[in-house]
Amino acid sequence: MESSVNWIIIGSIIDIIFNGIVWFVIALCLLPIIDKSDEWTRKAMSFMDKADKLIRKILDISYEWFKKKNLRIVLAFLLIILLGTLAEFEIIPKIIR
């Protein structure tokens, strides 16, 4: 009886072990970066929420003021500028969806 070593199986096992080690090292390097970027994303979302509420409040107050003063022409120009800016940044199609 001949005792031969199956080098394909041994090579596959060595490959699996090295792949596991490499992915473990990659995970160790990338997890702190992902955590930090997640923290920055949360801060950005918080800032965007505060800015959105402030802008909505300012627009609401100015709209009521223009309506009370009966300044329809100025209000029309401001709405054209506002809607044109929103369309330029492609925010209006995102709102409609």
2 in helix, strand or coil? coil
Angle between helices 72-88 and 7-69 (to 10 degrees): 170
User: What single letter denotes the amino acid at residue 24?
Assistant: F
**pLDDT higher at 13 or 88:** 13
Tens of pLDDT, residue by residue over 6-62, are: 888 899 999 999 999 999 999 898 888 888 888 888 998 999 889 889 988 988 888
- Euclidean distance between CA atoms 26 and 18, whole angstroms: 12
